[in-house]
């Protein structure tokens, strides 16, 4: 069964961490509606959705992807690149211990799930403002023995790797080469981000369905023109918190 772990938006979302964006007013009531619509989209795509509220006081807790990285064999609790988010990890470990063996990455190694792009057995990990070389090496030490190949990618213009690149399928990536080192993706077909929709490359792949932010109609049209099935949702309030579709759920097979 395909599962999706999500977390209700915190009433303190306005106080979220920001790195590349200026703070804007976030309408929390609107955010709650958008999150419900996001969960409904996950269900339409075939996922059983579990919604947590354990970290409701923590501003960034809706972004469940960052504290944990889940593989078929193991779930890896991350060390998180900013101190304010490290309190999120304990409850995520408790939840996922029901489904997976838990491994932990500890400081000074830093890593967040938003920097980890899984394409089959190739695991691309962004070296970003939130993930350092030690974090990449620590993840590799855990998953390389399981048959995964870890490939480091320089991230230089956005928060996380998946802000600047995601996979449309196992051979094709959607990438903003102004933000991410394209050389790491040798052998892949590359679709370049549209200049007026640089954030449009953040796509959440669920089976053969690609979920996209409806704020980027040209990117959606481009992906549809390539023959992909697309679902869309509005996450405007979360975009103000420097978020994309991928960071608000953790998908795994139970």
The catalytic site residues sit at: 160, 247
Residue 45 and residue 231 in contact, taking contact as beta carbons nearer than 8 Å: yes
Q: Give the span between the Cα atoms of 181 and 1, in whole angstroms.
A: 35
End-to-end alpha carbon distance in the chain? 5
The backbone torsions φ and ψ at residue 205, rounded to the nearest 5 degrees and listed phi first, read -95, 125
Residue 125 and residue 76 in contact, taking contact as beta carbons nearer than 8 Å: no
Is-cis flag, bond preceding 108, omega within 30? yes
The backbone torsions φ and ψ at residue 228, rounded to the nearest 5 degrees and listed phi first, read -85, 150
Nearest to residue 220, comparing CAs of 172, 177, 174, 181? 174
């Amino acid at each position: 069964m395909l599962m999706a772990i999500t977390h209700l938006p915190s009433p303190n979302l306005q106080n979220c961490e920001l790195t590349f964006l200026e703070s804007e007013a976030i309408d929390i009531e609107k955010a709650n509606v958008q999150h419900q619509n996001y969960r409904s989209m996950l269900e339409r795509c075939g996922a059983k959705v579990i919604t947590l509220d354990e970290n409701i006081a923590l501003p960034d807790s809706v972004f469940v992807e960052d504290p944990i990285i889940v593989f078929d064999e193991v779930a890896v609790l991350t060390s998180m690149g900013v101190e304010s988010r490290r309190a999120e990890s304990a409850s995520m470990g408790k939840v996922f211990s029901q489904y997976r063996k838990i491994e932990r990455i500890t400081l000074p190694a830093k890593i967040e799930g938003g920097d980890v792009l899984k394409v089959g057995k190739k695991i691309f990990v962004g070296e970003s403002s939130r993930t350092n070389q030690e974090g990449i090496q620590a993840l590799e030490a855990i998953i390389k023995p399981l048959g995964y190949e870890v490939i480091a990618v320089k991230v230089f213009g956005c928060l996380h790797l998946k802000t600047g690149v995601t996979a449309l399928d196992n051979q094709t990536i959607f990438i903003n080469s102004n933000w991410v080192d394209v050389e790491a993706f040798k052998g892949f077909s590359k679709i370049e981000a549209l200049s007026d929709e640089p954030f449009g490359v953040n796509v959440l792949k669920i089976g053969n369905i690609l979920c996209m932010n409806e704020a980027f109609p040209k990117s959606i049209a481009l992906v549809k023109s390539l023959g992909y099935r697309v679902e869309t949702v509005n996450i405007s309030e979360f975009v103000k918190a420097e978020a994309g579709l991928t960071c608000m759920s953790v998908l795994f097979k139970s």
